[in-house]
Amino acid sequence: MKAHAFRLIKGQDLKQSIQNYCTEHQISAAVVLSLVGCVDQAELRMAGGKVIKNWKQDFEIVSCTGTISSGKAHLHVIFSDVDAVCYGGHLQEGCIVNTTCEVVLGELENYQFTREFDETTGYNEIKITEKQD
């Protein structure tokens, strides 16, 4: 595994910035190792896949996990507000970094992640392929 570490700054879109980094560095399969920072706008798709909620307030990023496949991120995140109330869901574009966000990704150099439509789920689901030497 090859590690990638970078910092996002105020005003950057969290999901879009991660996707762009992976595209620019030709990363075809990655996982989130660490993601800490804060946002002042948040947008999450909730369980069930139909409801999207958004907030314009300060949040700490408490946790983030997921995969990135050829520049397309599938990330789940938990945000905590000033009262320590947590909100979690599927990270959408529209989560805007407040002061900083430190991102560490693990590139899985022996794998290729792609997305293919799955009729049973109605979503583009990950297809994992081991690269041949």
Q: What pLDDT, on the 0 to 100 scale, is given for residue 123?
A: 87
**What CA–CA distances, in Å, run from 94 to 17, 21, 39, 54, 108?**
11, 17, 10, 8, 27
**Residue 49: is its pLDDT beyond 80?**
yes
Provide the CATH number for the domain around residue 119: 3.30.1330.80
pLDDT > 90? residue 3: yes
At residue 21, the pLDDT reads: 96
115-129: pLDDT as tens digits:
999 999 988 899 999
User: What pLDDT, in 10s, does the model give residues 62-78?
Assistant: 999 999 998 799 999 99
Q: Which of 116, 105, 109 is nearest to 130 (CA)?
A: 109
Domain with 81 in it? 2-130
Taking the whole predicted model, whether its pTM rises above 0.75 is answered as yes
pLDDT of res. 132: 83
Average pLDDT over every residue of 45-58: 95
What beta strand segments (E) does 15-110 contain? 30-45, 52-55, 59-69, 72-80, 86-91, 96-107
Number of domains in the chain: 1
Average pLDDT over residues 11-25: 97
